Each structure stands twice: as structure tokens, then as C-alpha cells.
């Protein structure tokens, strides 16, 4: 048996014995199996890397802020800062009045105050059912259990604070970036309305394919608001980087912006009441206070204007468009940068020297507050010479005691004198030419919430000094009177003089 096996293995085929051919065959099979295993392993690692952001696709840090890192506590707490928010929300009670509605589409009417009252149960403001217009309510912050707009999307795309969308995802959401879905455009790119696969409406901001500039705008916005959360800031949900494409995905805010409500398309639905305007400006002030004072590094928006203040269907303000934002680290009083912004809103010291800090945003906020009060453009060359510059015209009107005439004539129910004075003085302090005299945004919040109009710090000191001087003079007079009325004191004084 063994001899037969040896004879068989010793047979020669193509010049080689059979056992040699068997060994060679087994070797080939082994090498093939090893090659397939290595190929599968390499492919698995490659697909795993594709689920992560490649090094060339990391959220970039600009040259000016490369040493600044977002505080880990911001991410850990989802951007919540209880002490500051509690301080801001001590007096959230406001009034809702129904605006005048004329010839307004049903889709737009859904964002009016009528809808807020009718849909009280589903409102984020927490109103009580059945309360008539004009009743007080207390807005509530977003609950921690609120469903995420990203729920239901594939888990492999989640990257900590946001979502990494594929270009195919966003093409599907916007019907291949259809012109019919365009809701805004400008020098930065085009904004489309879209719907994610889970039904969430989004605003898709497709940056222009300008080499270098698109990457710069992209990393600025991602660094500025990628980790922050506030109910008065438009939330950045995620982004897409594929080839030359740089796309940002935001929550969709469906009720226009402040400029449209003051002078544009939304005026067809009526005009904002005084209470609605103050509510919007108060929400804007709280968002800026959060950016300036509650997070590290602080964020300077650099382009605060009425068209960048979006309004949701509960008439809450949401600041948008952080394409020009800058970050300031702890201990940094200002940075020097190329002057950017919108004419009429830029602070004078920034326009003249390029020195930027949070007080530049305060000035821009003051201009927007004056817009909300007057309904005018910051600069309007169609008006007579003395009224072209809204800020200078308003200062003149206040000086000659004609402040009642500056209120937007489209406001049906005019504000009380005290409410108007409070808003005007707050705005004028914000647009003070001296940046050091402008208040912080947290102080602006308190001024807008105060029942009495704010008195500038210098006036308070002068009044205290005057009151102290008057009190001291009265004390001296009363002392002299006491001496004259006291006969013993008078007699002793006379004896001393005779001696």
C-alpha cells in the first residue's frame, strides 16, 4: 500500500513529480487566501476612515484663532449656562398682541400671533389655553427631552456636536439644489430650503466655490457656532465637505426676518406691534450676551443687522449668518482685522481703525433697535439731508424733545411714554461714539426688561453728588438754626467774644 502511494507520488507530470506539484498547489492556495484576507482588512479600514472626517476635512481653525480652543464645558453642558440664563430670565413675562393681517397667505399666517394663540398647546412659549390676546405668558426654554432634528438619520455620520452629511443627502433634500428651493443668496453663496430623509425642514447654505474663500467662510461658521446652543441662535445642524463643495446645514426658521417684517414682504401680513418688536430685540440681546459673556472664547458676530435676525412662528428672534464672526480668547481686549460688515451698522471705531471687539456688536444692536422703533433704514438717501442718517436724525429729535414723533407710524397701538424713553435711551447708549461708554449686552437685557427707563451712569453719579451737596447744605443750615434758637449757646458765644 505504501509502495503504491510512493509510486503514484513519484510519477512525473510536465517534468515535475506529483508530490512537488501538490506542494506547489497548496502554496498557491495559501498565498491566495492570505491575499484575500489582507485585501478585506484594508477595505474595512478604508471604509472606517471614510466614516470619519479626513485630515483635510477637519473643521479648520483660522490663522487668527489657532491658539484658541472652545471650552470643553460648553460641549459637556450643550452650551447651557444656568447662572447667566437664570439671571436673564427673571422677568420673561411679556404681552402678545395680534398684528394687523391683510391679504396674507395661509402659509404665512401660520407664523402670526393668531397662530400662537390658536395653537397654544403646541407652542414653545408655554401659554395657557383659552387666554385672550394681550394676556401674559411665560416663555419656556427648549426642554432637554425635545426630539433632535437629526433623529432617525444614519448613526455613522454623527460627529459629536453635529452631523456630517453627504452631498447625495443634500441633493436629495433640496431636489438637486433646485432654483425653486432658493430662499436667499448673497456674496457668500446660496441658501436652499430642504427636507431631510427624516422629514426635518432645513436651510442648506451652499458656499460659493471660490478657492480659499469658501474654506475660510466654512471654518469661521463652524468654529463660531458649531458647539454653542441658545434658543435665540439659529442652530447649525451639520455640514458637508466633498471635493470643492462646502455646505452648511441649519435649522429652518419659517417666519421671515426682522427687515421683512418692518419694511419688506412680511408687511403684507400686517405690522409688528410694539410688544412684538421689544420681544424680538430682547431675544437678540440675550443671544448676544450669551456669545459675548457666557462662552469661551467669546464670539463677535460682526454683522448684526435686521436681515440677519430671523423670526420663528412664535416670534422669537434667532440670530443667523456667522460668516464674518471672530473669536476672542480670554484676556484679549480686541483684535485688528479687515473692516467687514454692512454700511450703516458698522461701529465708527471699527470702521476707522479695524479694531474689533464685542462693543462693535453692541453698536450694531443699537442701530437695529432704532430700526425697530422707527421702521426706517439706517441710511436712506431718499429722505431729506437731515434725515439720511437715522442715528444722527434720532439724536437731533431727542435733543429738541420731539422723541414722540420718531415712532414707526405703522404701529397701531403706540407705546407708553416710559416704554418709548426706555427703548430710546437704551439704543442711544448702545450707539455712543465712545465704545467704552457703551453697555455690555447683559446690561442691555436688564435695561430692556426694566420697568423704568435707564439713567446713564454719569447722570446717576451727578445726581448722587448733587443730592449729597444739597443734604450737606441743609445740615449746615439746620445746625446754624439750632445755635440761634439755643439761648445758652448764644450766651456762651457772646461771653467768648467779649473775653
Place of cell 460659493: 208
3-class state of residue 184 by DSSP: strand
Q: Which residue has the higher pLDDT, 143 or 471?
A: 471
Q: Is the pLDDT of residue 395 over 90?
A: yes
* 192 plus 330 within the same structural domain: no
Per-range mean pLDDT, top range of 46-55, 124-133, 357-366, 460-469? 357-366
**Average pLDDT value for the chain:** 74
Per the domain annotation, does 421 fall within a domain? yes
My answer on whether 247 and 281 are in the same domain is: no
> Three-state SS for 183?
strand
Residues pairing with 19 in the sheet: none
pLDDT of residue 174: 95
Q: What is the residue whose three cell numbers read 460688515? A: 341
Residue 466: per-residue pLDDT: 57
- What SS3 state is found at 300? strand
CA dist 402 and 97 (Å) reads 27
Same domain for 419 and 280, yes or no, is: yes
- Structure confidence at residue 238 as a pLDDT band (50, 70, 90): confident
If 0-12 CB within 10 Å is exposed, 13-18 middle and 19+ buried, where does residue 107 land? exposed
Contact 324, 303 (CB under 8 A): yes
Using CA atoms, how far apart are residues 27 and 361, in angstroms rounded to an integer? 74
303 is known as an active-site residue: yes
Q: Does one domain contain both 313 and 381?
A: yes
Model confidence band, residue 382 (pLDDT cutoffs 50, 70, 90):
very high
Q: Is pLDDT above 80 for 351?
A: yes
Q: Are residues 292 and 418 in the same domain?
A: yes
**DSSP β-bridge partners for residue 137:** 94
Residue predicted with more confidence, 472 or 22: 22
Q: Tell me, what DSSP letter sits at residue 201?
A: E
Question: Which comes out higher in pLDDT, residue 227 or 86?
Answer: 227
Let me know if 249 is exposed, middle or buried by CB neighbors in 10 A (0-12, 13-18, 19+).
buried
204 falls within a domain: yes
Q: What's the pLDDT at 219? A: 74
Query: 106-110, 278-282, 311-315, 331-335: which has the minimum mean pLDDT?
Result: 106-110
Residues 279 and 344 in one domain: yes
Provide mean pLDDT across the span 307-334: 85
Residue 185 CA to residue 205 CA, distance in Å, equals 9
Q: 232 phi and psi, to 5 degrees?
A: -105, 20
Residue 327 pairs with which residues in a beta bridge? 299
Q: Containing H/E element for 249?
A: strand 245-251
Task: State mean pLDDT over 11-20.
Answer: 77
Question: Cβ(121)–Cβ(115) under 8 Å?
Answer: no
Residue pair 253/320 in contact by the 8 Å Cβ criterion: yes
What pLDDT is stored for residue 86 in this prediction? 40
Q: How confident is the model at residue 452, as a pLDDT?
A: 63
Say whether both 382 and 477 belong to one domain: no
Is position 47 within any domain? no
Q: Is 69 annotated as a binding residue?
A: no
The C-alpha cell of 489 is what? Answer: 449757646
238 lies in a domain?
Answer: yes
Q: Is there a single domain that holds both residue 485 and residue 386?
A: no
Do 414 and 472 lie in one domain? The reply is: no
- Which residue out of 303, 321, 361, 432 is catalytically annotated? 303
**Contact between 159 and 103 (Cβ < 8 Å):** no
**Residue 208 shares a structural domain with residue 294:** no
The pairing of beta strand 182-186 with beta strand 189-195: antiparallel
Q: Could you tell me the CA-to-CA distances from 347 to 355, 431, 477 in Å, in that order?
A: 10, 8, 50
- Looking at the structure, do residues 242 and 324 belong to the same domain, yes or no? no
The H or E element spanning position 423 is helix 417-430
* DSSP states of 320-364: ---TT-EEE-TT---EE----S-TTTS-HHHHHH-EE-HHHHHHH
Question: pTM of whole model > 0.75?
Answer: no
Is residue 401 domain-resident? yes
Domain count for the chain, please give it.
4
Quick check: is 461 in a domain?
no
111 and 254 in contact (C-beta within 8 Å)?
A: yes
Q: In this structure, what C-alpha cell is assigned to residue 57?
A: 476635512
| CATH number of the domain to which 209 belongs | 3.30.200.20
6 has a pLDDT exceeding 90: no
Q: Is the pLDDT at 54 greater than 90, yes or no?
A: no
The highest-confidence range among 88-92, 120-124, 478-482, by mean pLDDT, is: 478-482
**247, 249, 255, 258: CA torsion to nearest 10:** -60
**pLDDT score of 178 more than 80:** yes
Domain of 389, CATH number, reads: 1.10.510.10
Confidence (pLDDT) at 73: 38
Per-residue model confidence (pLDDT) at position 445: 96
Q: Is 260 within a domain?
A: no
Residue 162 inside a domain? The answer is yes
- Segment 424-458, tens digit of pLDDT: 999 999 999 999 999 999 999 999 998 765 555 55
Instruction: Tell me the average pLDDT across 152-176.
Output: 74
Report whether pLDDT(275) > 80: yes
Domain that holds residue 190: 146-251
Q: C-alpha 448: how far from its chain's center?
A: 19
Q: Are residues 244 and 188 in the same domain?
A: yes
Amino acid at each position: 500500500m505504501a509502495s503504491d502511494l510512493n509510486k503514484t507520488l513519484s510519477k512525473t507530470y510536465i517534468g515535475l513529480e506529483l508530490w512537488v506539484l501538490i506542494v506547489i498547489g497548496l502554496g498557491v492556495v495559501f498565498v491566495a487566501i492570505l491575499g484575500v484576507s489582507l485585501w478585506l482588512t484594508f477595505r474595512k479600514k478604508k471604509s472606517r476612515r471614510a466614516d470619519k472626517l479626513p485630515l483635510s476635512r477637519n473643521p479648520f481653525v483660522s490663522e487668527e484663532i489657532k491658539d484658541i480652543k472652545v471650552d470643553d464645558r460648553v460641549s459637556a453642558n450643550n452650551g447651557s449656562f444656568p447662572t447667566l440664563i437664570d439671571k436673564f430670565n427673571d422677568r420673561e413675562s411679556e404681552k402678545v398682541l395680534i398684528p394687523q393681517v391683510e391679504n396674507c397667505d395661509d402659509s404665512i399666517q401660520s407664523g402670526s400671533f393668531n397662530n400662537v394663540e390658536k395653537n397654544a398647546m403646541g407652542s414653545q412659549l408655554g401659554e395657557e389655553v383659552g387666554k385672550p390676546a394681550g394676556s401674559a405668558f411665560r416663555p419656556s426654554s427648549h426642554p432637554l427631552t425635545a426630539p433632535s432634528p437629526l433623529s432617525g438619520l444614519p448613526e455613522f455620520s454623527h460627529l459629536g456636536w453635529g452631523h456630517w452629511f453627504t452631498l447625495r443627502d443634500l441633493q436629495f433634500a433640496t431636489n438637486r439644489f433646485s432654483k425653486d428651493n432658493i430662499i436667499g443668496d448673497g456674496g457668500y453663496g446660496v441658501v436652499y430650503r430642504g427636507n431631510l430623509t427624516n422629514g426635518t425642514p432645513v436651510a442648506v447654505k451652499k458656499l460659493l466655490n471660490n478657492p480659499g474663500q469658501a474654506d475660510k467662510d466654512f471654518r469661521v461658521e463652524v468654529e463660531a457656532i458649531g458647539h454653542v446652543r441658545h434658543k435665540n441662535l439659529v442652530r447649525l445642524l451639520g455640514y458637508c465637505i466633498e471635493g470643492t463643495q462646502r455646505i452648511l446645514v441649519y435649522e429652518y426658521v419659517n417666519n421671515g426676518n426682522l427687515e421683512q417684517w418692518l419694511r419688506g414682504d412680511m408687511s403684507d401680513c400686517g405690522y409688528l406691534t410694539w410688544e412684538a418688536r421689544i420681544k424680538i430685540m430682547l431675544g437678540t440681546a440675550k443671544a448676544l450676551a450669551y456669545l459675548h459673556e457666557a462662552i469661551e472664547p467669546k464670539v463677535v458676530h460682526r454683522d448684526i443687522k435686521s436681515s440677519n435676525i430671523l423670526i420663528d412662528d412664535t416670534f422669537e428672534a434667532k440670530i443667523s449668518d456667522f460668516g464674518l464672526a471672530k473669536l476672542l480668547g480670554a484676556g484679549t481686549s480686541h483684535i485688528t482685522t479687515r473692516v467687514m460688515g454692512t454700511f450703516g451698522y458698522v461701529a465708527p471705531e471699527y470702521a476707522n481703525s479695524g479694531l474689533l471687539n464685542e462693543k462693535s456688536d453692541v453698536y450694531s444692536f443699537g442701530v437695529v433697535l432704532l430700526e425697530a422703533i422707527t421702521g426706517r433704514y439706517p441710511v436712506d438717501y431718499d429722505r431729506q439731508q437731515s434725515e439720511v442718517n437715522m442715528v444722527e436724525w434720532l439724536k437731533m429729535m431727542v435733543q429738541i424733545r420731539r422723541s414722540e414723533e420718531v415712532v414707526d407710524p405703522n404701529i397701531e397701538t403706540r407705546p407708553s411714554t416710559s416704554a418709548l424713553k426706555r427703548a430710546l435711551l437704551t439704543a442711544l447708549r448702545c450707539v455712543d461714539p465712545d465704545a467704552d461708554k457703551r453697555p455690555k449686552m447683559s446690561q442691555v437685557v436688564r435695561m430692556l426688561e426694566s420697568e423704568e427707563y435707564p439713567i446713564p451712569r454719569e447722570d446717576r453719579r451727578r445726581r448722587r453728588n448733587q443730592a449729597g451737596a444739597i443734604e450737606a447744605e441743609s445740615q449746615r443750615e439746620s445746625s446754624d438754626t439750632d445755635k440761634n434758637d439755643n439761648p445758652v449757646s448764644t450766651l456762651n458765644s457772646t461771653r467768648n467774644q467779649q473775653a
